[in-house]
Amino acid sequence: MSSSKTKKKQSRKKKSAKKYPLKVEKIGKKFGGLSAVDNVSFSIEKGSITGLIGPNGAGKSTTFDLITGITSSDTGSVKFNGEDITGKRPYQIANIGLVRTFQITRELKEMTVMENVMLAPKNQIGQQLSSVLLSRGRRKIENQEAELLEKAWETLDTFHLDKLANEYAGNLSGGQRKLLEMARVMMMDPSMMLLDEPMAGVNPTLKKQIITLIKKLSKDGYTFLLVEHDMDVVMNHCNPIIVMHNGGVILEGTASEISTNERVIDAYLGGSE
């Protein structure tokens, strides 16, 4: 009897994991005596474009670091698709479909844009040393490379980087680097993307196109969590919006709820709570 109960519980859990692929529970991180992130919890709904906002130093990027395993959290847990990913290594988290971009772009400078993009895809046969060295796997690698190359060109088209394919990533402008980061992440085909200020430095026309792309993907079931300072983008396209301040979440709600909330206004205008 008890087993059927747990089964029920499990199935319910699974259902909620299906609806909420990312669940952050009470995570916290201290650097020295300073608590960068403190007792932060939220769940992200599948197919949503959730905004994560807050003034500088609110702990948004650190939260991203904690979720993706770049920094290990002191307390709390993170679940992705029902699986506990707390303490997992960044590559493990990326490979199960949760991928991020960085606020300060981390393009691979002395690699071309194309190399950057071709690096990302998962399960590349040619990333196995044995298949690279043995002649037998050669054909397979080349075929897969050709496939990936086609996808890479399409992705570069999407982000208007196709003309820069052979340029070293280090020579790109700030906005182009942001685009490259996104292109790279798209090549991994993750089910959820954490985008850290993806629009910073991107020109308005392209910004619109990226928003359209994100919206289209979210309709297809991809989930987005984005940190963004461009309030236009956040207020018009993100739902829900999570507001962080001083390392904690102060509110989660719709754009209209956020814009009328006293605490949020205080946080942004520098008032204390």
Residues that bind another protein (CB under 8 A): 68, 70, 89-91, 94-95, 99-100, 102, 106, 108-112, 114-115, 118-120, 122, 124-129, 132-133, 138, 141-142, 145-146, 149-150, 152-153, 165-166, 168, 184-185, 188
Cα Rg of the chain (Å, integer): 20
Q: Nearest distance from residue 89's CB to another protein, in Å?
A: 7
DSSP per-residue string spanning 124-163: -GGGSHHHHHSGGGHHHHHHHHHHHHHHHHHHHHHTT-GG
- Residue whose C-alpha is closest to residue 167's, from 240, 224, 112, 106: 112
Q: Say how far apart CA 210 and CA 205 lie, in whole Å.
A: 9
| Pairing outcome for strands 192-196 and 223-227 | parallel
User: In angstroms, what is the minimal distance from the CB of 188 to another protein?
Assistant: 6
Nearer to another protein, 100 or 207 (CB): 100
Closest separation in Å from C-beta 112 to another protein:
6
Of 122 and 160, the one with the shorter C-beta distance to another protein is 122
Residue for token pair 């999570």:
242
Pure H helices in the chain? 2-19, 60-68, 90-95, 113-119, 129-133, 138-158, 174-187, 204-219, 231-237, 255-259, 262-269
Cα(195)–Cα(103) distance, integer angstroms: 8
CA pair distance 180, 32, nearest whole angstrom: 34
Closer by beta carbon to another protein, 92 or else 236: 92
If the CB atoms of residues 4 and 135 are measured against another protein, the closer one turns out to be 135
CB of 99 to another protein, least distance (A): 7
CB of 216 to another protein, least distance (A): 23
Q: Which is nearer to another protein, 6 or 143 (CB)?
A: 143
The minimum distance between CB 141 and another protein, in angstroms, equals: 5
- Nearer of residues 93 and 258 to another protein, judged by Cβ: 93
CA–CA gap between residue 81 and residue 17 (Å, rounded): 5
